[in-house]
Amino acid sequence: MIRKFHRNDLSAVMEIWFETNIQAHSFIPQKYWMDNFEMVKDMLPEAELYVYEDNNTHQADGFIGLTDNYIAGIFVREHVQSNGAGKQLMDYVKKRKTNLSLSVYQKNIRAVRFYQRESFVIQSENYDEDTGEKEFVMVWKR
């Protein structure tokens, strides 16, 4: 089930954010995610957030965060990945927006492929000065 974020989801969402970033971005030191944890925790509730909740356990297993039409991130617990949770989150926001954009690290091949399957196209390349990594800027239009 996809639903709006509730304030009491914050600790589960932050756990998902942290674990997924470490797992998906092995090319970025774990310290980077640790150093940014509190800032993200403060900023997250200000974004438009939707949570993927397991129908049986009622546990938050993923979420997507948006600022206007920009996908700030989509995160799914590792044990739920490749089971449709990310696609459900993406479909949910696609129904509410006519266009979307995002940035994704070029080395995160799995995420790049996911976005391409979701009809996002690479618009440009960026350099993330905080991490020293190259990114793709990808866009989707209905």
Q: What is the pLDDT of residues 32-91, one digit of tens each?
A: 999 999 999 999 989 999 999 988 888 999 999 999 999 999 999 998 888 889 999 999
Distance between CA atoms of residues 136 and 118, nearest Å? 15
Q: Whole domain around residue 10: which residue ranges? A: 2-141
Residue 65, amino acid? G
Distance between CA atoms of residues 92 and 5, nearest Å? 13
CA atoms within 13 A on the CB side of 29: 7
Distance between CA atoms of residues 61 and 85, nearest Å? 8
The residue that leads in pLDDT, 81 or 13, is 13
Q: What is the CATH number of the domain that holds 39?
A: 3.40.630.30
Structural domain count of the chain: 1
**Residue 56's pLDDT is what?**
87
**Residue 57's pLDDT is what?**
86
Q: Rounded mean pLDDT of 2-18?
A: 95
DSSP symbol at 30: H
